[in-house]
């Protein structure tokens, strides 16, 4: 019945929906965050200290936008719902002030803009699956940051990406028009 081990807690393999998973999770508090994908519970690695400078740069840059002034937020490691059977946890995700209010009403909000930082344990297939999930949920934009290459891959659809590096200016338009910077600034 169970296959994956986290610390001393054995994870169930018989859950079918995000709701069942979240009910189980409330009863079995454990460290870390988890994604739920069609009955599979996947432990998500937390952001590492050597990635903190990326998150710090993005959050500080976001705080200079009109969206932030309106009450919108770029939040680390917050649930992003894909479907009744899939939930992702992006490294950073954007939510409008209205969506944050919906969360207070227990509405499961889906991310329109997700940012992921590539970890050493992720495969190309993992990346493509995540990007597809964000777009399946109605996402408009996904950034995949690859620290070792000092590049950001921008997905405006699940099948098309463009890599930005060096002094190229990356923009979160059309989601957040004034959230932009030179890629080299994030890695300097």
**Residue 90 is part of a domain; what is its CATH number?**
3.90.1570.10
Edge-to-edge strand ranges of the sheet holding 86-88: 40-44, 33-37, 86-88, 80-83
How many whole angstroms from its chain centre is CA 126? Answer: 13
Provide the residue-wise pLDDT of the chain in tens; the chain has 188 residues: 434 434 445 777 788 888 888 888 788 766 667 878 888 888 777 767 778 899 999 999 999 999 999 999 999 988 888 989 899 999 999 999 999 999 999 899 999 999 999 988 888 888 899 999 999 999 999 999 999 999 999 999 999 999 999 999 999 999 999 999 999 999 98
In this prediction, residue 4 carries a pLDDT of 42
Structure tokens at 97: 């002030």
In a domain, 16, yes or no: no
Report how far apart, in Å, the C-alpha atoms of 51 and of each of 61, 78, 157, 185 are: 16, 17, 25, 15
Distance CA 137, CA 112 (A): 8
In this prediction, residue 1 carries a pLDDT of 40
State the number of CA atoms in the 13 A half-sphere of 82 facing the CB. Answer: 20
Task: Please provide residue 183's backbone torsions phi and psi, each rounded to the nearest 5 degrees.
Answer: -55, -40
Domain count, the chain: 1
Structure tokens at 90: 């992006």
Residue ranges making up the domain that contains 107 = 46-186
């Amino acid at each position: 019945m169970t296959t994956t081990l986290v610390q001393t807690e054995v994870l169930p393999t018989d859950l079918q929906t995000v709701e069942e998973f979240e009910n189980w999770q409330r009863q079995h508090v454990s460290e870390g965050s988890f994604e739920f994908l069609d009955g599979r519970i996947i432990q998500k690695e937390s952001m590492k200290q050597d990635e903190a400078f990326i998150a710090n740069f993005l959050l500080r840059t976001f705080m200079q936008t009109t969206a932030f002034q309106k009450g919108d937020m770029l939040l680390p490691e917050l649930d992003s719902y894909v479907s009744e059977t899939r939930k992702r946890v992006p490294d950073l995700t954007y939510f409008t002030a209205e969506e944050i209010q919906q969360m207070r009403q227990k509405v499961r909000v889906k991310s329109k803009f997700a940012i992921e930082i590539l970890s050493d344990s992720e495969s190309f297939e993992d990346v493509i699956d995540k990007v597809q999930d964000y777009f399946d949920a109605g996402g408009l934009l996904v950034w995949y940051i690859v620290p070792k290459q000092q590049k950001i891959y921008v997905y405006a659809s699940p099948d098309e990406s463009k890599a930005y590096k060096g002094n190229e200016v990356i923009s979160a338009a059309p989601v957040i028009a004034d959230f932009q910077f030179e890629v080299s600034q994030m890695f300097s």
